[in-house]
A and B are shown apart, each in its own frame.
Chain A
Amino acid sequence: MARKNGIPPQLVRLVLVTLAIIALYFTARYFMTPETFGQFGFYRGASLNEHATRPLSFAGKESCRNCHEEALQLVSQFEHKTLSCETCHGPAMSHVIDPETPLVKIEDGSCLRCHRSDPSRPSWLAQISLDDHYESDSCTDCHTPHQPNE
């Protein structure tokens, strides 16, 4: 056993140990690397799908169209045509799934969030200063949000 083919036994042992370590490394790597790692790059490909399957809160304008076609038609003829329904009415996914679920109630004065006079706002936007605007309890006494220019 001492000197087969002239290779010293301790060298043989060293080589065997090294090979065993390398084999262990590859075995560990094989089992520890996530399944989809490297599918698109140096990351777990399944992560993309995990991000994509998260639940929705906002349903999108097209979902509203399924039932409220008329309201959408009306809004599209006036200045608020660029608004999405959910801009004012809030996230509607739960309402789309179950129409009985009410939407967020729009409070008085929420118009001011966009229309209060502000020097930082672009001049094309209709803005009011509460001091010199007609006095009334509610914006909707005079204005219709779906037809703002009327």
Chain B
Amino acid sequence: MITTRVIAVRIVIPPTNRTNKVKSSITRRKLISLTGKALAGFVSLATARKAKGAVRKFMVKTPAPKGYDPTKHKWLMAFDIEQCIGCGMCVQACELENKVPPGPTYFRTWIERYVIKRRKPGSSRARGETQVDSPSGGINGFPPTSVPREEILKSFYVPKLCNLCVDSPCVQACPVGATFDAPDGVVLVDPNYCIGCGFCIQACPYGCRFMHPETGTAEKCTLCYHRITRSLLPACVEVCPTEARIFGDLKNPVDDDPLMQFIEKNKVQTLKPHLGTSPRVLYAGMDKEVR
């Protein structure tokens, strides 16, 4: 039925009209040549890219670790809150090592000061309110707290960084696959493919990401990927004066592995476990106020 109708239409239109109509728009010849050009474009682009890659490989000497296999490692960091003295050397080292943009709000790692006040007389609670502050992330250390000493029930410092989640909400939120869980347990951002939409920054419940003001791409702690792949410690762990940051490789524990010993000796927790992100970064000596 439909076939006959279409044929009928063809017959109705006079041939002269038809050519006139087609002339003004795309002809078959034009379309074929366009397709050909597009194909040629793709092919030449790919060749150019391959050539660029080859030249780069030849010209640029990279001190890249040869033989580093990401599938044979699983990095993890843990924190001993009892050991953290809030000096902020880790935050400063991170900025120097990773060229974190200056400013009071850009951090890959930072320290929070928790001050838990004494309960008010007659209160039914065991402790008073909690005050948390982090002036410039603690990069210059901490000024004395504004809470008078006699009001403080207890106080401590909590270092923070990317929680290396197993079910990372940031990775799930990325619409272009620019952020990913590397096989060695690090969550990384591919700056060449990040479109700067900022969804991952909203998705991270730990506030571990920021938008780089110059590149316009998302940035976060990489666990100093350029260091750990060369068998060096992350900068923050390197400079920590009290061994409050413990770093190790779960797949290749060394003799008397500090990370393994830390997990064995302490009762460890993770941050915000109720969110289902399965964070891997461990904390010992954490109070219930820490979020």
Where the two chains meet, the residues of A that have a C-beta atom closer than 8 Å to any C-beta of B are 8, 10, 20, 24, 27-28, 31-32, 34-35, 40-44, 47-58, 60-61, 80, 82-84, 86-87, 90-91, 113-114, 118-122, 125
Please tell me if the beta carbons of B229 and A52 are within 8 angstroms of each other in the complex.
Answer: yes
**Known pairs A51-B225, A60-B232, A120-B145. 6 more at Cβ < 8 A?**
A41-B180, A43-B177, A44-B190, A61-B238, A86-B239, A118-B145
Please tell me if the beta carbons of A83 and B241 are within 8 angstroms of each other in the complex.
Answer: yes
B247 in the interface, Cβ–Cβ < 8 Å? no
Q: Which residues of B contact A120 (CB under 8 A)?
A: 86, 113-115, 142, 145, 155-157
Please tell me if the beta carbons of A82 and B71 are within 8 angstroms of each other in the complex.
Answer: no
Contact (A28, B42) CB under 8 Å given A113-B141, A120-B113, A125-B85 = yes
- Chain A residue nearest to B190 (CB atoms) is A47
Contact (A86, B238) CB under 8 Å given A52-B65, A53-B62, A119-B149 = yes
Please tell me if the beta carbons of B93 and A91 are within 8 angstroms of each other in the complex.
Answer: yes
Cβ of A110 to closest chain B Cβ, rounded Å: 10
Which of B119-127, B181-189, B249-257, B275-283 is near enough to bind chain A?
B181-189
Please tell me if the beta carbons of B235 and A58 are within 8 angstroms of each other in the complex.
Answer: yes
Tell me how many residue pairs across A and B have CB atoms closer than 8 Å: 139
Please tell me if the beta carbons of A60 and B241 are within 8 angstroms of each other in the complex.
Answer: no
Docked complex: B143-188 residues within 8 A CB-CB of A: 144-145, 149, 152, 155-157, 177-183, 188
Bound Cα distance from A69 to B216, whole angstroms: 44
Most chain B CB inside 10 Å of its own CB: which residue of A32, A50, A118: A118
Q: Which residues of A contact B85 (CB under 8 A)?
A: 114, 121-122, 125
Please tell me if the beta carbons of A47 and B97 are within 8 angstroms of each other in the complex.
Answer: no
Bound Cα distance from A61 to B250, whole angstroms: 22
Contact (A87, B155) CB under 8 Å given A40-B183, A52-B65, A53-B62 = no
Bound Cα distance from A121 to B70, whole angstroms: 38
Please tell me if the beta carbons of B149 and A118 are within 8 angstroms of each other in the complex.
Answer: no
Cβ of A115 to closest chain B Cβ, rounded Å: 9
Q: Which residues of B contact A51 (CB under 8 A)?
A: 188, 222, 225-226
B248 in the interface, Cβ–Cβ < 8 Å? no
Bound Cα distance from A69 to B276, whole angstroms: 48
Please tell me if the beta carbons of A53 and B96 are within 8 angstroms of each other in the complex.
Answer: no
Please tell me if the beta carbons of B238 and A58 are within 8 angstroms of each other in the complex.
Answer: yes
A-B contact pairs, 16 of them (CB 8 A): A24-B35, A41-B181, A43-B177, A43-B193, A51-B225, A52-B226, A52-B230, A53-B63, A57-B96, A60-B227, A86-B238, A90-B96, A113-B89, A114-B87, A120-B155, A122-B82
Sorted nearest first, the 4 A-B pairs with minimum C-beta distance are: A43-B180, A120-B155, A47-B190, A54-B226
